[in-house]
Amino acid sequence: LWHLFGFGRKKSQSPTEQAEESAPAANSTLPPAKESPPAASTTPAPATSEKPPAAKAEPSWQPGGAKVSVRVLNNASNTVVLANCVANYTLLTGLAVDVQLELYEGFWVLPDGVPLDCRKGCADCFYLATEVASEGKGTARIDYGDGHMRVAPVGGGIELSVAGAGARRCTPGLCPKGWRQPLWLKSKGAALNVVVQGSLRGLESEADRVAGHRRWSRIVQRRTAIYHPGLRIHPRRRAAPQCAWCNQHGHGSCWWHCR
């Protein structure tokens, strides 16, 4: 280990090496020696005081490089699947998972057992999308359906919150105006929080039906909240979304999130 700290180097050296070793270091922090300085060399010394050229200003986010951290909590009473055309993750009820996404990526929230068709999307599912706006700023938003029909989601909900930017939510009881609007990601590494909600809709009627058959018995049933969105189609049809980045990772699928 002595040679790592500059001790114990006593081997024979050539005259050139001895001259180089005796010369003072250009960047030495020690006080100047009292001896006369060596003769000036004809070779110009490298400039050490010049500052490196300033880096070119870049936008806050760059597609394909910046990533966002998304924490997803399954608050429903059934298992859900986070899926896109690249990967999927099964999230059990009551559990949370941390997901790393690049910009222009996102995922659908599918009920357990529902497959994802990458060419059609999921008309009955919520999703999260991350994008880059024209100003070079990152955004995140939640939405519902594949974009081909104007729908009102029922049977489940989702909530998105970003630190310092606010929150968006659509629950079975209320989807306020503007819940589809994107949230700005003010800095790289911004943390997103997504909560998957369930719905009691449709389960109360089933409990009442059971109570009707067993009129004289008292039934104690835990009320669950199932995530299983359904369509409520309006008569108006809207155009399919347009996106320049429509081929997701070469899988030949349109990324409906860009619009």
Q: Which of 191 and 225 is assigned the larger pLDDT?
A: 191
Helix (H) / strand (E) element for 76: namely none
pLDDT at 98: 93
Nearest Cα residue to 101 out of 115, 116, 90, 86: 86
Percent of the chain with pLDDT over 70: 49
Mean pLDDT of 130-140: 82
Q: pLDDT tens digits, residue range 189-202?
A: 678 999 999 876 53
pLDDT at 91: 95
Task: Quickly list H helices, the chain.
Answer: 2-5, 15-22, 203-213
Q: Give me the residue spans of the domains in the chain.
A: 67-200+227-250
Alpha carbons 197 and 15: distance in angstroms, whole number: 79
Res 254 pLDDT > 80: no
Please give the biggest Cα pair distance in the chain. Answer: 112
Q: pLDDT tens digits, residue range 164-220?
A: 889 999 987 788 889 999 999 876 667 899 999 987 653 333 333 333 333 333 333
Q: Measure Cα distances from 87 to 57, 79, 83, 98 in Å.
A: 34, 17, 6, 14
Q: Which of 124 and 224 is assigned the larger pLDDT?
A: 124
Alpha carbons 123 and 174: distance in angstroms, whole number: 20
Alpha carbons 214 and 216: distance in angstroms, whole number: 6
Per-residue pLDDT band for 253 (boundaries 50, 70, 90) equals: very low
Question: What does pTM read for this prediction?
Answer: 0.58
Q: Which of 22 and 102 is assigned the larger pLDDT?
A: 102
Collapsing DSSP states into helix, strand and coil, what is residue 22?
helix
Which DSSP category does 117 fall into? B
Alpha carbons 151 and 145: distance in angstroms, whole number: 7
Collapsing DSSP states into helix, strand and coil, what is residue 48?
coil
Instruction: Give me 250's structure tokens.
Output: 């070469």
Range of 25-34, 143-152, 169-178 with top mean pLDDT = 169-178
Q: How far is CA 47 from the centre of its chain?
A: 43
pLDDT at 29: 41
Instruction: Give me 13's structure tokens.
Output: 């050296």
Average pLDDT, the chain: 66
Q: pLDDT tens digits, residue range 45-90?
A: 555 445 444 333 333 334 445 788 999 999 999 999 999 988 899 9
Q: Which CATH class is domain 67-200+227-250?
A: mainly beta
pLDDT at 145: 85
Q: Which of 211 and 119 is assigned the larger pLDDT?
A: 119
